Amino acid sequence: MKIQNREIGNNQPVFIIAELSANHNGSLDTALETIRAAKRAGADCIKLQTYTADTITIDSRKDDFLIKGTIWEGKNLYDLYKEAFTPWEWHEALFKAAEEEGLICFSSPFDKTSVDFLERLNTPAYKIASFEITDIPLIEYVASKGRPVIISTGIAEMEDIELALDACRRMGNEDIAMLKCTSSYPAPIEEANMVMVKDLAERYGVISGLSDHTLGNTVPIVATCFGAKIIEKHFILDHSVGGPDASFSMDEKEFTEMVKAVRETEKAIGKVDYTLTEKQKKGKDFSRSLYVVKDIKKGEKFTEENVKSIRPGFGMHPKHYKDIIGKEASKNFEKGNRFEF
């Protein structure tokens, strides 16, 4: 998969996305400064959400539209999205700011009008949000644009994942990534289930990654170990900005620490390679080898008392130990001599 000029997948660094979401709290200046902070924190990408309250729900006060069991308990859906949305007239400035910072910028659309709008901005990719994975007509329309599609699996069962993948492939789009996601805000770490990152890639033949709502950077580190090629975290300039998503977002310091941890984890994972570096070879000086530990005269036998496997490693390999015990010395040996044929 390639997004703009960035290759994503095998042998590539993890693609780290800073999710702006509602963390501008209604201020364009805050949104712009958040983009600059995301760059400082080490993000590769800033992601927006493109909707209005009217494109994502309806203004209804019926009980169905009242939020229950989340951090937004008691709020009406329309009121929440009216508070949280990113004004469409900001998008061009946000895309431009990201470009100036060297960040990739794309968005999550929530209906056809937002897809059409993002097409006019030449978005390099699309993200399907967790709760939209069941919106097959939307996924088909997004996939039909021929751009990479990243899909969060937050509320998805296996059938939902398969339907979403089929929708993309039906449109001839194979540039698909699936992000393991737990749709709780914040998400309990015991529900992260990071082994799914590996399974998504193997089972469905896609690039896999993480869209994370847990607190801290433990889960991104584990995801990296399981082969995540994309990691997305909500990013806020400062928690004092406030807003609907502030409680499960990382500030600049936290995000910087996460990026550092992920990059160090990538280095630690390395590759399958049984050869030694020159530095590692030097370490063999401290391995075991065969040495004379008591003076031995010519004609005397080598025994467990006068030849031992000890450090350092400059003598004969210990694999020869049993072969020489009981044989006669062909010359004199002093204590501390390397044992050599």
Q: Indicate if 140 and 286 belong to the same structural domain.
A: no
pLDDT per residue as tens digits for the range 102-125: 999 999 999 999 999 999 999 999
Q: Indicate if 201 and 222 belong to the same structural domain.
A: yes
Residue 151 is predicted with a pLDDT of 98
Q: Indicate if 19 and 80 belong to the same structural domain.
A: yes
Task: Decide which of 230, 245, 269 is a domain's last residue.
Answer: 269
Is the residue at 308 inside a domain?
A: yes
Domain that holds residue 60: 11-269
Task: Tell if the pTM clears 0.85, that is, is over it.
Answer: yes
Instruction: Please determine, for residue 275, whether its predicted confidence score (pLDDT) is greater than 80.
Output: yes
Residue 70 is predicted with a pLDDT of 83
Residue 142: name the closest of 160, 129, 158, 153 by CA: 129
Q: Indicate if 194 and 314 belong to the same structural domain.
A: no
Give the ranges where the chain is alpha helix by DSSP (H).
Answer: 28-41, 53-56, 77-84, 91-101, 112-120, 136-143, 158-170, 195-204, 218-225, 252-269, 278-283, 321-324
Residue 69 is predicted with a pLDDT of 85
Sign of CA dihedral 218, 224, 228, 230: positive
Q: 158 near 129, Cβ under 8 Å?
A: no
Residue 122 is predicted with a pLDDT of 98
Q: Indicate if 28 and 159 belong to the same structural domain.
A: yes
Given pLDDT bands bounded at 50, 70 and 90, which one contains residue 251? very high
Terminal alpha carbon distance of the chain: 58
The residues, ordered by sequence, that sit 6+ positions from 269 with a Cβ below 8 Å of its Cβ are 224, 225
Q: What is the mean predicted confidence (pLDDT) over 151-166?
A: 95
Is the residue at 264 inside a domain?
A: yes
Is the residue at 291 inside a domain?
A: yes
Given pLDDT bands bounded at 50, 70 and 90, which one contains residue 179? very high
Q: Indicate if 252 and 129 belong to the same structural domain.
A: yes
Q: Indicate if 225 and 178 belong to the same structural domain.
A: yes
Instruction: Please determine, for residue 295, whether its predicted confidence score (pLDDT) is greater than 80.
Output: yes
Q: 218 near 204, Cβ under 8 Å?
A: no
Q: What is the mean predicted confidence (pLDDT) over 258-270?
A: 97
Q: Indicate if 252 and 304 belong to the same structural domain.
A: no
Give the Cα separation of 127 and 292 in Å (integer).
Answer: 68
Residue 341 is predicted with a pLDDT of 63
Is the residue at 2 inside a domain?
A: no
Q: Indicate if 128 and 222 belong to the same structural domain.
A: yes
Residue 134: name the closest of 156, 152, 113, 114 by CA: 156
Instruction: Please determine, for residue 340, whether its predicted confidence score (pLDDT) is greater than 80.
Output: no
Residue 273, judged by CB atoms within 10 A of its CB (0-12, 13-18, 19+), counts as: exposed
Report the amino acid identity of residue 243: G
Q: Which region among 177-186, 253-262, 300-309 has the lowest average model confidence (pLDDT)?
A: 177-186
Q: What is the mean predicted confidence (pLDDT) over 75-79?
A: 93
Given pLDDT bands bounded at 50, 70 and 90, which one contains residue 339? confident
